[in-house]
Amino acid sequence: MRIIHQSQKWYGVRSKWFIFLLTLGVTVSILSTNPFPTPDQKKEYSGNDYQNVTVDSHQWYWVMTPSTVKAGQPVAFQVSSADVNHGFGIYDEKLTLVAQTQAMPGYTNKLVHTFDKPGKYKILCLEYCGLAHHAMISELTVE
């Protein structure tokens, strides 16, 4: 009669548990990145088709010119940074992320988004940029 040690019995369970966790991790990763709000940036708009908003980020505030736009018309955000990397995130009144892009020193990212409804939208930094990162909040008015 062969004696099976308790530790040998658990080696088989451990490999099955690893495969289960790996499968679960891959599934959760795929499902959680699917609804990521990245608008179609391939569409080109001509001069008068969209509103231009210049966004300059600094530690720890945003400078947006202008800070009011019209609903139903595409808005082209020209986003850059004066110091470190920042994440430019636009949130609706329910604090749902609507659109986002990176603000990087020495580079301007273009983000085109059309606001469907008027309201106040919050601009938050999505990338930790220092001690006052949590206070880096601005507001965009959509009429």
Between 37 and 117, the more confident residue is 117
- Mean model confidence pLDDT for the chain: 86
CA 78 vs CA 65, 104, 112: distances in Å: 10, 11, 9
| Strand ranges, E, within the chain | 51-58, 61-65, 68-69, 75-81, 86-91, 97-103, 109-113, 119-125, 137-142
Q: What's residue 49's pLDDT?
A: 78
pLDDT tens track for 81-126: 999 999 999 999 999 999 999 999 999 999 999 999 999 999 999 9
pLDDT in tens, 83-95: 999 999 999 999 9
Categorize the per-residue pLDDT at 25 as very low, low, confident or very high, splitting at 50, 70 and 90. very high
| Count of positions (residues) in the chain | 143
More confident call, 10 vs 32:
32
Tokens of 42: 């391939």
Does position 20 have pLDDT exceeding 90, yes or no?
A: yes
